[in-house]
Amino acid sequence: MALREILLGPIYIVRALLTTFKHNTRPIVTIEYPERQKAVPPRERGKHILHRYADGLEKCVGCELCAIACPVGCIVVEAAENTPEHRVSPGERYAKRYEINLLRCIYCGMCEEACPYDAITMGPRYDLADDHPDKFIAVKEDMLEPLSASVADTAVPSGAPSAQPVARKW
């Protein structure tokens, strides 16, 4: 028994060493987070996005159905009339004020389902962190799509490339 261990032990140890050494050649699996992020699933329910039509008009008509559907009451919508001089949405009214308390929100997606015009959807951003509770009140400008945005632009977290193989340094 002891002799067997003495004879075979070094072989096992060398085999173990070779196993770990092989990992030198394998790619690095770490995703270096702030610079790179994992791609989120297509139906990720992150921070909300307020959409526009292709001509730049907002889809939201200020009907407040999302605020009514919201189970935690984190949405505040204040509607105003569209005028020919000041047309924001194609409907009769638009959302003058649209605020979501992101700390109160439970990211259930009920607002998305309640919306008759698909004006609000849940976006892919999940890394919501800040240093003061007041900064989590998302106002309309925080959530509104930029004028030139297409659907593809908002499919990945803004400001971060999706997960790509990390170039090997060292």
Partner 1 sequence: MTLEVVVVTLIKAAIVIGGLLTGFAYLTLFERKVQARLQQRPGPNRVGPWGLLQPAADGLKLFFKSSSTPSGRDRFLYLLAPLISVCAALSSFAIIPISGPGPLRLFGHSIGWYVMNVNIGVLWYLAVTSVGVFGIFLAGYASNSKYSLLGALRSSAQMISYEMALGLSLVPVFILAGSLRLVDIVNAQHTWWFIIPLFPAFFLYLIAGIAETNRAPFDLPEAETELVAGYHTEYSGMRFALFFMAEYINMIIVSSIATVVFLGGWWGPFGILPGPWWFLLKVIALLYVYVWLRATLPRMRYDRLMALGWKSLFPLSLAMMMITAVVVVAAEGTL
| Residues at the contact surface with partner 1, assessed by CB under 8 A | 6, 13, 16-17, 19-21, 23-24, 26-30, 32, 166, 169-170
| Rounded least distance, CB 31 to partner 1, Å | 10
| Rounded least distance, CB 118 to partner 1, Å | 42
* Residue 46 near residue 102 (C-beta atoms within 8 A): no
Q: Which is nearer to partner 1, 17 or 163 (CB)?
A: 17
Q: What are the angstrom distances between the C-alpha of 68 and each of 28, 76, 113?
A: 48, 9, 12
Strand partners, 75: 100
Collapsing DSSP to helix, strand or coil, 25 comes out as helix
* Residue 67 near residue 160 (C-beta atoms within 8 A): no
| Rounded least distance, CB 1 to partner 1, Å | 13
Cα(128)–Cα(44) distance, rounded to whole angstroms?
Answer: 14
Cα(137)–Cα(128) distance, rounded to whole angstroms?
Answer: 11
Q: Which is nearer to partner 1, 35 or 85 (CB)?
A: 35
Q: Which is nearer to partner 1, 20 or 83 (CB)?
A: 20
| Rounded least distance, CB 127 to partner 1, Å | 18
Q: Which is nearer to partner 1, 164 or 170 (CB)?
A: 170
Cα(123)–Cα(125) distance, rounded to whole angstroms?
Answer: 6
| Rounded least distance, CB 8 to partner 1, Å | 14
Token pair listed for 26: 């394998």
Q: Which is nearer to partner 1, 13 or 106 (CB)?
A: 13
